[in-house]
Structure 1
């Protein structure tokens, strides 16, 4: 019963404060504030997206992979496999990879650490550990660099065989 009284009192006070703000006009907390659609739904800047009225940097580095996906085919259980992706900087300024993040802890990327000059090549090695995995796998690596857009995604896929070496084919 005590809880209901406290709740009723709180609601009454809130209703009174709302009425006073309306009577007070410019003296209320939100006095003079007009809520527009822009205020209610503010735009959030996303550095990964070039806005419509912002021209892309024509001198930015460009990361061009020779392949964006690699298929290992059948992978033996409890083994590690790796593939090296090659990319070329087709832009007009040095390319620097800031980070590469895999979609799973079983996938580990390693990359060229020094800046890649325009026209030069770099590498992104991706290692997959099949320990504890079975069946069809599809893993992505998000490569963050000083390019526009600043994230480029590459992928690996394959089919991890069971311990007996049998293929796990989808139904």
Structure 2
């Protein structure tokens, strides 16, 4: 009887842990990556990471930045309500060569550790 009660308690806490409530962010880009492909220096370099708040609370994009100055990141200023979509714009300075960059996005989303999401861009400027 003691073992059955212990099992039920463990199962209950495990279920509660998986049923997280709060904002959740889901990006449309596969693996949170945008592939520029092979592009010309004349391209404006602007791409957008589209996302949806799949949670049950407003989603805040607290910060979005890159460690390199060749990328300008624009995040939404207002909270994204549950079920609504938003986007984070990324403008890459079209310097010739390969593109392999990461943008760190800080949110209040419960489906990523500490609410931090790594977005990646890749490609090659000819």
TM-score, scaled to structure 1: 0.57
Q: Displacement of 1:56 after TM fit?
A: 7.5
Equivalent pairs counted in the alignment come to 105
Please list, as runs of the form range in 1=range in 2, the aligned pairs for 1:21-170 lying within 5 A after superposition: 55=17, 58-67=20-29, 68-77=32-41, 80-130=44-94, 133-148=95-110, 149=113, 150-161=115-126
Q: Displacement of 1:120 after TM fit?
A: 0.6
CA distance in 1 between counterparts of 2:100 and 2:67 reads 9
TM-score, scaled to structure 2: 0.75
Q: Displacement of 1:58 after TM fit?
A: 1.9
CA RMSD of aligned residues (A): 1.8
Greater RCO, CA 8 A, separation 6+: 2
For the pair shown, the structure with the greater C-alpha radius of gyration is 1
| Bigger strand share | 2
- Is 1:93–1:117's contact at 8 Å kept on the other side of the alignment? yes
- Is 1:79–1:129's contact at 8 Å kept on the other side of the alignment? no
